[in-house]
Structure 1
């Protein structure tokens, strides 16, 4: 680490992005984040978490930032809170950096950019800055934040969003440093709230905190110059076992992470830790069809770390089912899918679904994937039928949609269009997709 320290060096990096922009290959990946998150955000417009939040905030303060891609507007901070909560409400948003970066970054950027009249290129640059800062901090920790009870989306998101907002506001190095420190002091999110409205609220609050942090810094509000790296600072405070490196050289000055470290786009609106097993089960059903009534038991082979996050073993609501490997397997067996239509209280409570939930067991295997902390090298499902037959699925190393197995343009568009239909979007979904795909050429963001 240079003598300047981590917080100041990251402030310098954010200010550099504001001045010089990000490379085209990084902007192109960021554009995928905007497309996918816009879809998941609109899809969740009618969700209880979003509508309850709106009722609690009423009457909304005036402003020019749009809510939920509809006609209603409010100030940027409130819009970031609501839009960020919506982006994560279905747990259908992308995954990377041990959390859900786009669900925080995109709502913060869109809300503030709409109010300011920013260009699409500057919005993409803001995303890149937030993503890079988030990755820089995550990579300094060897422990698993989930196992300590932290939700990384909430604790890192407020800092990433502060970096993104600082780019939009064109803050200088000193101001950007303060914005990051202010974001760090607003970090929050507990894993115990998974399966409740509080989980998407973590993303919304992080987006709102980022907007507020950058605005405060622009006005002269200060934070400590070592807020991130101090022994009583952010990294040490949230470290599960104190295994954190606050002093190594800052990587963002030497290379861009985003082009090589893309986000993973979800195919299912459930916790990402269910996705490899879902791919395995659905492939098994396709090659070896069997009736749900014939299932005696299902073994899911996955790491104990991932199983710990999937804390809801007997869910009775769609919200709780998002964090249940038992439900994921039951849904795949009964419906042949695990989509938005299955994440309802009515489907979860079906007697056949509940019976299958009780027949699913987790077999913990080593978390030995060197490239994915806390993950096994591959997840696998084994189904035992009542006649004694045993069906083994092919182990799945990376779920379809992972950065190593990315969705093609047609699949990304299909997910987007389906999401907008679910959210009862009033406009032309295909046209909105095309506009977002051309975000870099947009002189003023007006969607």
Structure 2
């Protein structure tokens, strides 16, 4: 590889323009922004987000960007941090080998407001960030999470830096420096799963992207070989050193975003549980059951996903997001695993706790070569007290997966539900229409004007 990897990525991000984007890339980018704005607003009322808001609000600074498109404004790096945390706190954000949008979107909306960027600028920056995200995350042949790394903030910090650098029109050398500066700060650990720290570290990656680009714009430099050096970022974070640092990227020749797309979550829990939820809900819809009829339930998952879904007897909504036992029990009892179920009150209900004790996880290593960490399929078996055994379908792709996508009506329904949950006083229908046609918006600042009432006019 003649150029160093960071230099190749820097050149791509520096030179990418809206006119170069394939139609499918524009469509996927807008889906990512729509979904992230929705879950960001829904998560804005959660306690962990308000704690971070209180902490950062005391630091002051120039108010450049809105918090979750509300009337409140803060410095763009801090707004990106808070908005990123809000977008991830419910574990409802999209998926593509991790969660790229929830790091990229808060960063580019915050920096975009500071710069008065257009909608087309936002779309272009999103694609730049997504391409860098996927280029880096797919070079690792192992599994970051089995080593303890949380890939979303770990790699997402660099993706956010690439996106913001494109937004600021930095030259290739400065983008390369921004990537190196982001790599110097990137982190995130799986021990945070099921705690407030998980969404905090995701939001911090968005902050890292914004601040790294600002430092590079002011002249700060980093090692151009930062990604592929013998002691560089990719080798340092690789669980077993099995990482590709030799292949030259083909960015702009092939588009990761059109090949891999985005998977939109239907349930606000870890994506590792979604196929089991689909399997259980579909089974129960065909064969209605009462909990007292069930002797036990077995759910088949890959060993990696079973390790990630580590909370076997959760007692909080946060912990339940990483519990296969809860996911299946809620599916049986409520016929859904939504915002009304993933909370402390529902999780601690006697019947939920009791049914969770009857759910067993059975692991396998029959991995899907197209989806690292995933088994070829997940499946649920329900053993009844009358000796019958009910078998679910084998679910390879959860509904909402890029290969089994949600329709526009389903995406809109999720958007409106999230807007209502966040209760920020938006004209949600108009905001959805604005985001659907984002590339035609003259200024991304107009998005915050979709709030109703005098606060919107004053913002």
Which category describes the TM-score, using the shorter chain as reference length? over 0.9
Post-superposition offset of 1:152: 0.3
* 2:360 counterpart SS class: strand
**TM-score normalised per structure 2:** 0.95
Q: How does 1:37-436 map to 2 (within 5 A)?
A: 37-59=36-58, 60-96=60-96, 98-436=97-435
Separation (CA, whole Å) in 1 of partners of 2:314 and 2:324 = 10
Post-superposition offset of 1:64: 2.4
Per-residue CA deviations over 1:73-97 (Å, capped at 9, x if unaligned) read 011100000000000010000000x
Per-residue CA deviations over 1:320-378 (Å, capped at 9, x if unaligned) read 00000000011111111100011111100001000111111111122321100111111
Post-superposition offset of 1:20: 6.0
- Contact 2:109/2:122 (8 A) holds in 1: yes
* 1:141 counterpart SS class: coil
Post-superposition offset of 1:19: 8.5
- Contact 2:57/2:74 (8 A) holds in 1: no
Separation (CA, whole Å) in 1 of partners of 2:36 and 2:156 = 15
Post-superposition offset of 1:253: 4.2
Number of equivalences: 445
Separation (CA, whole Å) in 2 of partners of 1:75 and 1:117 = 14
Separation (CA, whole Å) in 1 of partners of 2:178 and 2:210 = 9
- Contact 2:366/2:376 (8 A) holds in 1: yes
* 2:251 counterpart SS class: helix
Separation (CA, whole Å) in 1 of partners of 2:221 and 2:242 = 28
Moved over 6 A (4+): none
* 1:41 counterpart SS class: helix
Segment of structure 1 superposing worse, 351-360 or 57-66: 57-66
Separation (CA, whole Å) in 2 of partners of 1:412 and 1:19 = 24
Separation (CA, whole Å) in 1 of partners of 2:215 and 2:20 = 23
Segment of structure 1 superposing worse, 315-324 or 8-17: 8-17
* 1:122 counterpart SS class: helix
Per-residue CA deviations over 1:73-126 (Å, capped at 9, x if unaligned) read 011100000000000010000000x21000000000000101110010011110
- Contact 2:270/2:322 (8 A) holds in 1: yes
Separation (CA, whole Å) in 2 of partners of 1:182 and 1:406 = 36
- Contact 2:18/2:120 (8 A) holds in 1: no
Separation (CA, whole Å) in 2 of partners of 1:395 and 1:361 = 17
Per-residue CA deviations over 1:121-167 (Å, capped at 9, x if unaligned) read 01111010011011111121100001000000011010000000001
Per-residue CA deviations over 1:388-409 (Å, capped at 9, x if unaligned) read 2211101101000000000000
Post-superposition offset of 1:257: 1.2
- Contact 2:419/2:426 (8 A) holds in 1: no
Separation (CA, whole Å) in 1 of partners of 2:22 and 2:200 = 32
**TM-score normalised per structure 1:** 0.98
Give ranges in structure 1 of 5+ residues lacking alignment.
none
Separation (CA, whole Å) in 1 of partners of 2:189 and 2:202 = 12
Separation (CA, whole Å) in 2 of partners of 1:16 and 1:218 = 16
Counterpart position of 1:13 = 12
* 1:341 counterpart SS class: coil
Post-superposition offset of 1:186: 1.2
Separation (CA, whole Å) in 1 of partners of 2:250 and 2:361 = 38
- Contact 2:18/2:121 (8 A) holds in 1: no
Separation (CA, whole Å) in 2 of partners of 1:394 and 1:22 = 38
Separation (CA, whole Å) in 1 of partners of 2:310 and 2:6 = 35
* 1:251 counterpart SS class: coil
Give ranges in structure 2 of 5+ residues lacking alignment.
448-459
Post-superposition offset of 1:57: 1.8
